Amino acid sequence: MMREFLTSGLVHGLLGEAQGSVWMPPEASTFANEMDPLFYFVLYLSVFFFVLLIGATVWFTLKYRERSPDQKTSPVKHNGRLEFLWSAIPTVLLLVIFVWGQKPFVNLSSAPVDALNLRVTGQKWNWTIDYPGLNKSCGAASVADPETGIEHMETDFFVPANRPVKLTIGAADVLHSFYIPAFRLKRDAVPGRYTGYWFNANEPGVYELFCAEYCGQQHSEMRGRVHVLSEMEWRAFLKSSRCPALDPDADDYGEKLYQANCKTCHSIDGSRQTGPSFKGIWGHTAEITGGTSVTVDDNYVRESLRDPSAKIVESFAPGMPVFSSSQLDDRAVNALIEFIKSQGDSGHIE
Ligand code: CUA
């Protein structure tokens, strides 16, 4: 039985087959077959060295045990070759793991430009998934456990199959971790900061979604289902009322916020006003007073709202008021970020 487990895991891992093993659920994203061989390599390498080292320890303990009270330890001398090898072999193995893991890691961090952009927010104790471009938001709904009848909140998360999906992940209260085992993806959701990754789910189906960071009493209930939809199902989902509108009042929530809060100082046509224009700033590197620079991204926009004097764009004077979370809540900040994003990234900062 044990041998079967090991072989199935090893074979699946090395060949990158889509079935799961005792160690891993079935592969359901394009990353999974990049990650799994490395996982199995590290696993079996660890098993090999565990057996080797613990076996040798037990064997030496028995072989060189004290047999009589007056027995003395024989003098121990250096063995240069042995000492070189036990440093060199692990170094080479660690470098192999590093180089092997580097490629998928870099890939994971840079989403394709045509990816569908979604926002994930973790809060005690459920997830909210916003679809800014589609003006939809999937919150958690109450679900009863079929056996116990006890109700808890669960999130249904819908994504199209075979299409890159980029997640921008945040947290409203404490640290959470957004985890989809079948995609081999796990990312911390950190309050006051955005993290992200992307995936391409290539197997339509329903997969489990977890919170992988202890976040309080109902941490274990903070779960949901990821529905990977075929082209036809995805089109039906877009028309359905399964997820309500992101902002019930308007499709242009971000623009309304801009008109009300930012317009007097930040233009969208590239003209210079009190503050930098929003035209084409997304993704650009801005020179900061004091000689540093910053990339205009989710985190920078958020910081600029909450703490405007932290990074002043060169040649502009400080003077922007603070927007606290009671004036602009997280959802408003996200909407403004989406608005700034929609002003393009082709120009430069005025
Ligand atoms: Cu959220 Cu654990």
Q: Tell whether ligand 1 has an atom less than 6 A from the beta carbon of residue 176.
A: yes
Q: In which band, very low, low, confident or very high, does the pLDDT at 73 lie, cut at 50, 70 and 90?
A: confident
* Cα 234 to ligand 1 centroid, rounded to whole Å: 28
* Cα 229 to ligand 1 centroid, rounded to whole Å: 26
* Cα 153 to ligand 1 centroid, rounded to whole Å: 13
Q: What is the mean pLDDT of residues 314-323?
A: 82
Predicted confidence (pLDDT) per residue in 92-128, tens digit:
999 999 999 998 888 888 888 888 888 899 988 889 8
Q: What is the mean pLDDT of residues 59-69?
A: 89
Residue 222's CB is within 10 A of a number of other CB atoms, namely: 27
Predicted confidence (pLDDT) per residue in 299-316, tens digit:
888 888 888 888 888 888
* pLDDT-wise least confident of 31-35, 180-184, 327-331: 327-331
Q: In which band, very low, low, confident or very high, does the pLDDT at 13 lie, cut at 50, 70 and 90?
A: very low
* Cα 172 to ligand 1 centroid, rounded to whole Å: 11
Parallel, antiparallel, or unpaired for β 223-229 and 151-160? Answer: parallel
Q: Which residues contact 32 (CB under 8 A, 6 or more apart)?
A: 182, 183, 184
Nearest CA to ligand 1 atom 1: 176
* pLDDT-wise least confident of 57-61, 253-257, 307-311: 253-257
Whether 4 has a pLDDT exceeding 60, the answer reads no
* Cα 222 to ligand 1 centroid, rounded to whole Å: 6
Q: What is the mean pLDDT of residues 69-79?
A: 83
Q: Tell whether ligand 1 has an atom less than 6 A from the beta carbon of residue 222.
A: yes
Q: What is the mean pLDDT of residues 53-59?
A: 96
On the CB side of 164, CA atoms within 13 Å amount to 12
* Cα 155 to ligand 1 centroid, rounded to whole Å: 13
Atom of ligand 1 nearest to the CA of 174: 1
Phi, psi of 17 (to 5 degrees): -75, 155
Q: What is the mean pLDDT of residues 57-81?
A: 87
* pLDDT-wise least confident of 33-47, 132-146, 180-194, 197-211: 132-146
Q: Tell whether ligand 1 has an atom less than 6 A from the beta carbon of residue 215.
A: yes
* Cα 316 to ligand 1 centroid, rounded to whole Å: 41
* CA angle, residues 300, 305, 310, in degrees to nearest 5: 60
pLDDT of residue 95: 96
Whether 69 has a pLDDT exceeding 80, the answer reads yes
pLDDT of residue 145: 74
Q: Tell whether ligand 1 has an atom less than 6 A from the beta carbon of residue 211.
A: yes
* Cα 193 to ligand 1 centroid, rounded to whole Å: 16
pLDDT of residue 5: 47
* Cα 122 to ligand 1 centroid, rounded to whole Å: 8
What is the DSSP annotation of 225-267? EEEEE-HHHHHHHHHSSSS-BSSSS-TTHHHHHHHHHTTTT--
Q: Tell whether ligand 1 has an atom less than 6 A from the beta carbon of residue 219.
A: yes
pLDDT of residue 144: 76
Helices (H) and strands (E) in the chain, counts: 7, 13
CA distance 310 to 314: 12
Atom of ligand 1 nearest to the CA of 215: 2
Q: Tell whether ligand 1 has an atom less than 6 A from the beta carbon of residue 120.
A: no
Q: In which band, very low, low, confident or very high, does the pLDDT at 56 lie, cut at 50, 70 and 90?
A: very high
Which CA distances in Å does 248 have to 98, 137, 142, 159, 333?
47, 10, 21, 22, 17
pLDDT of residue 88: 96
Atom of ligand 1 nearest to the CA of 124: 1
Atom of ligand 1 nearest to the CA of 222: 1
What global pTM score does this model have? 0.68
Which residues share a beta bridge with 151?
144
Atom of ligand 1 nearest to the CA of 212: 2
Among 301, 309, 310, 349, residue whose Cα is nearest residue 328 = 301
pLDDT of residue 46: 94
End-to-end alpha carbon distance in the chain: 68
pLDDT of residue 50: 96
Label each residue of 114-167 as H, E or C: CCEEEEEEEECCEEEEEEHHHCEEECEEEEECCCCCCEEEEEEEEEECCCEEEE
Among 16, 11, 8, residue whose Cα is nearest residue 34 = 16
For the chain, the residue count is 350
Q: Tell whether ligand 1 has an atom less than 6 A from the beta carbon of residue 279.
A: no
Q: What is the mean pLDDT of residues 21-27?
A: 80
Quick one: which H or E segment has residue 82? Answer: helix 80-109
Mean pLDDT rounded to a whole number for the chain: 83
Predicted confidence (pLDDT) per residue in 258-289, tens digit:
887 888 788 888 888 888 888 888 888 888 88
Query: Residues 112, 168, 117, 143: is their CA dihedral positive or negative?
Result: positive
Among 240, 261, 230, 287, residue whose Cα is nearest residue 339 = 261
